[in-house]
Structure 1
Amino acid sequence: MRTRKRSQIFGGVVIAVLFSTACGNTTHNDAILEVTNEAAQSNKSMKQETMNKHYPVTLSIYSDEGKEMKQTIETEPKRVVVVGSAMAELMIAFGLEDKVVGLGYLDQSFSKYENQINKLPILSDLWPSKESVIDLQPDIIYAMSSAFKEDRLGEISFWNERGISVITASNFNIGRSIEHYMDDIRNFGVAFDVEGKTEAFIKEQTARITKVKQTSKSVQNRPNVLLIASAGRENFDYYPPSWSVIDEMIEGSGGKYVELSDGYMEMSIEAIIAANPEKIVLTQFQDPNNETIKTKLLSNDRLQNVEAIKKGNVMVVDYTNAIRGSLQLADLYEDVAAFIHPEQYGGQS
């Protein structure tokens, strides 16, 4: 009891002194408030620093030659140069468009984000010059690996030597697959600290794709499906499974992807006739007029005996999504399933 009473008396003295000081010495009081505010700001900064321990991060990327490389992003990227419409779509979809200080190479014929893309600071419709990129002083360049060639943006080392990190999306250098596309999305999430959003996207897309695969297990027939990639020449282009993702969609939907070669090749009319596919998936780089290219193929006199042409079983798809994948990956997967097995997925033949 004696100890407690002494503490109460001492506490009262302290309060009285503080009250007296506060009333009689405004300058001293202001100093105390200033120190208190500084301490609060310091604590706030420390809390923010503790909360954001994401950076630095180190990513594995691939050069255009397929060589694995490491890129370290020391701090949050605030100035990003983007090369390629598909890369710009990601920046917009995940709420990062304000970080884009320059966009080059508008390579897509279709994008649901076209209006937003057109509002970004566009450097060039084609490959931007090194000088124009350097002038923007970016923290990061985000592009397809094919952009980093000497006659385009230059080697990755050129930018690293200038303190600029590079994020590449996989191209033909390591093959194209849905898994590779999802890995690119994961890299993107880590680089820009939006992993929660990217993982939610991957989960949603994967669930829809899995549902299609499960449904296709019950199909009885597997029609032969040929991918025809037209480049506007007399001959067409053929892409092997390692050069596209549409093959996985066809196989996963209960179809059989027609394989003509282990690698890319020009595909003649004779090759299409010899393959005689039951269904054709048609795509054309940077051509938004789907009906025109479909009509051109269907009306080709030399192809009238091909099974798919006779029955009008031709589907036109977006080039980027079919070859590499895009944010509408699961949409296309479901559309392909409905095209191959309309009776199973509710589409129309």
Structure 2
Amino acid sequence: MTLKKFSTSLVMAAATLVLMAGCGSTGTKEATQETSKDTKTEVVTVSNYNYAKDKIDLTFEKVPERVVTVYQSPLEIMLALGLEDKVVAASQLDSDVKPEFEKAFEKIKYYDEAPSKEEVMGLKPDLIYSWYSYFGPEKLGEVTDWIDRGTNTYMMQNSGAVKPDTLQNEYDDILNIGKIFKVEPKAEAIVKEMKDEIKKAKKAVEGTKPVKAIIVEVSKDGMYRVYGKDTIGGDMASQLGAELVAADEQSIGKEDLIKLNPDVIFSVYYGENIEREQAEKSIMDDTSLASLAAIKNKRVEPVVLSEVYATGIRTLDGIKTISQGLYPDLGNE
């Protein structure tokens, strides 16, 4: 409470008491400061998005205690920051959590299918942390409806909320979660390690000819989905100094791939080892692609989806995978 809110009579009475007690002005000032400090509420505000992709401000008057996470990156960011005790439910992992998080993950209730709107309401979360798609009309619905109910939301920027996808968006998401949960030093250390890995690779290959690279996902119809310059995988490759071919394309055919003739092909896969092996074999064993430099030099590199899309804590893994694929000699230095 400030001096302006006191009535005149109270101010006079307080002054009289101070004089009678023989207290100095310093003692009164210290008491006021201590009271202000004790009663101050630290409010955190971060920017995020609604389903219309409009930027909105999210206000957190206290650290969330009941968090629902859906998809790989939101959960693993929480685990990396030591916040597993805050997670009341998790779902929709593309692959097992990283080995260092297995013990923490055992404490969390896991849903094989993403919880329905009614199930989420029953969990009484104060934060829903997920990808853009989870807030669609057929799933949880508009974020502002949840916020009006007292449940904050946070969607990963590179999950469809903004374009282009960038490494900076991943950094910002991690830093924002650190800020919301008041674990900023941990978040800053994680982001610093990612940035340092980029710097290390770029410095090591200064003055060398850029490596022609492409990141693709093999389709059943003989087409390839391209992770171009506006994707997180593409941004990683570009920042690591690669010459990203088909950078503006969303998909290409075999003839296009042959004309581009990349030095390295990163083949995206989901799931466990069998899918990883298939991601490599589907390109390496395709006789129609035998003329490619990447095939001749055996430089087809499998990369898991979680390292090139809405990457979260796996941003560092993605940077390392792409860096080592581009510059295999770096691993021996």
Task: Give the shorter-chain TM-score range.
Answer: 0.7 to 0.9
What pairs with 1:193-208 in structure 2 (closer than 5 Å)? 193-208=182-197
- Match for 1:196: what amino acid? P
- Match for 1:301: what amino acid? T
**More deviation in 251-260 or 99-108?**
251-260
- Match for 2:200: what amino acid? K
Give deviations 1:177-232, integer Å, cap 9, x for gaps: 1111001011101111111211122222222221222222232x222111112355
**More deviation in 178-187 or 86-95?**
86-95
Aligned to 1:106: 93
Aligned to 2:263: 278
Shift in CA distance, 188/177, structure 1 to aligned 2, threshold 3 Å: same
Q: Give the superposition deviation at 1:166.
A: 0.6
Distance (whole Å) between structure 1 residues aligned to residue 259 and residue 123 of structure 2: 53
Give deviations 1:259-316, integer Å, cap 9, x for gaps: 2535x33x32222222221210111234543122211221112111122112211111
Aligned to 2:6: none
Distance (whole Å) between structure 2 residues aligned to residue 298 and residue 252 of structure 1: 27
Tell me the secondary structure at the aligned position of residue 288 of structure 2: helix
Aligned pair 1:230/2:223, yes or no?
no
Q: Give the superposition deviation at 1:82.
A: 1.0
Q: Give the superposition deviation at 1:342.
A: 2.8
Unaligned runs of 5+ in 2: 1-32
Aligned pair 1:307/2:293, yes or no?
yes
- Match for 2:170: what amino acid? Y
Tell me the secondary structure at the aligned position of residue 173 of structure 1: coil
Distance (whole Å) between structure 2 residues aligned to residue 296 and residue 329 of structure 1: 25
Tell me the secondary structure at the aligned position of residue 254 of structure 1: coil
- Quick one: which of 175, 178, 183 aligns to 1:189? 178
What percent of counterpart residues are identical?
A: 27
Shift in CA distance, 293/159, structure 1 to aligned 2, threshold 3 Å: same
- Match for 1:284: what amino acid? Y
- Residue pair 2:68, 2:89 contacting (<8 A) in 1 also: yes
Q: What CA RMSD, in Å, does the superposition of the two structures yield over aligned residues?
A: 2.6
- Match for 1:229: what amino acid? E
Distance (whole Å) between structure 2 residues aligned to residue 331 and residue 272 of structure 1: 26
Aligned to 2:228: 240
Aligned pair 1:58/2:22, yes or no?
no
- Residue pair 1:127, 1:153 contacting (<8 A) in 2 also: no
Aligned to 2:56: 69
Aligned to 1:86: 73
- Residue pair 1:285, 1:319 contacting (<8 A) in 2 also: yes
Q: Give the superposition deviation at 1:47.
A: 8.0
Distance (whole Å) between structure 2 residues aligned to residue 311 and residue 327 of structure 1: 31
Aligned to 1:27: none
Tell me the secondary structure at the aligned position of residue 227 of structure 1: strand
- Residue pair 2:66, 2:86 contacting (<8 A) in 1 also: yes
Give deviations 1:76-103, integer Å, cap 9, x for gaps: 2111111112211111111111111111
- Residue pair 1:284, 1:319 contacting (<8 A) in 2 also: yes
Tell me the secondary structure at the aligned position of residue 294 of structure 1: helix
Give deviations 1:225-248, integer Å, cap 9, x for gaps: 111123555422112211x22223
Distance (whole Å) between structure 2 residues aligned to residue 98 and residue 48 of structure 1: 32
Q: Say how many residue pairs are matched.
A: 297
Shift in CA distance, 205/115, structure 1 to aligned 2, threshold 3 Å: same
Give deviations 1:96-143, integer Å, cap 9, x for gaps: 111111112223466333554354101x32332000000011111111
Shift in CA distance, 71/302, structure 1 to aligned 2, threshold 3 Å: same
What pairs with 1:1-349 in structure 2 (closer than 5 Å)? 50=37, 55-108=42-95, 111-112=98-99, 113-114=101-102, 116-117=104-105, 119-122=107-110, 124-170=111-157, 171-174=159-162, 175-219=164-208, 221-231=209-219, 234-242=222-230, 244-261=231-248, 264-265=250-251, 267-286=252-271, 288-289=273-274, 290-343=276-329, 345-346=330-331
TM-score, normalization by structure 1: 0.77
- Residue pair 1:59, 1:72 contacting (<8 A) in 2 also: yes
Shift in CA distance, 260/218, structure 1 to aligned 2, threshold 3 Å: closer
Shift in CA distance, 336/115, structure 1 to aligned 2, threshold 3 Å: same
Distance (whole Å) between structure 1 residues aligned to residue 130 and residue 168 of structure 2: 18
Distance (whole Å) between structure 2 residues aligned to residue 260 and residue 291 of structure 1: 25
**More deviation in 127-136 or 245-254?**
245-254
- Residue pair 2:306, 2:314 contacting (<8 A) in 1 also: no
- Match for 1:280: what amino acid? I
- Residue pair 1:82, 1:88 contacting (<8 A) in 2 also: yes
Q: Give the superposition deviation at 1:70.
A: 1.4
Q: Give the superposition deviation at 1:54.
A: 6.5
- Residue pair 2:178, 2:187 contacting (<8 A) in 1 also: yes
- Residue pair 1:339, 1:347 contacting (<8 A) in 2 also: no
- Match for 1:318: what amino acid? V
Distance (whole Å) between structure 1 residues aligned to residue 35 and residue 253 of structure 2: 62
Tell me the secondary structure at the aligned position of residue 313 of structure 2: coil
- Residue pair 2:167, 2:236 contacting (<8 A) in 1 also: no
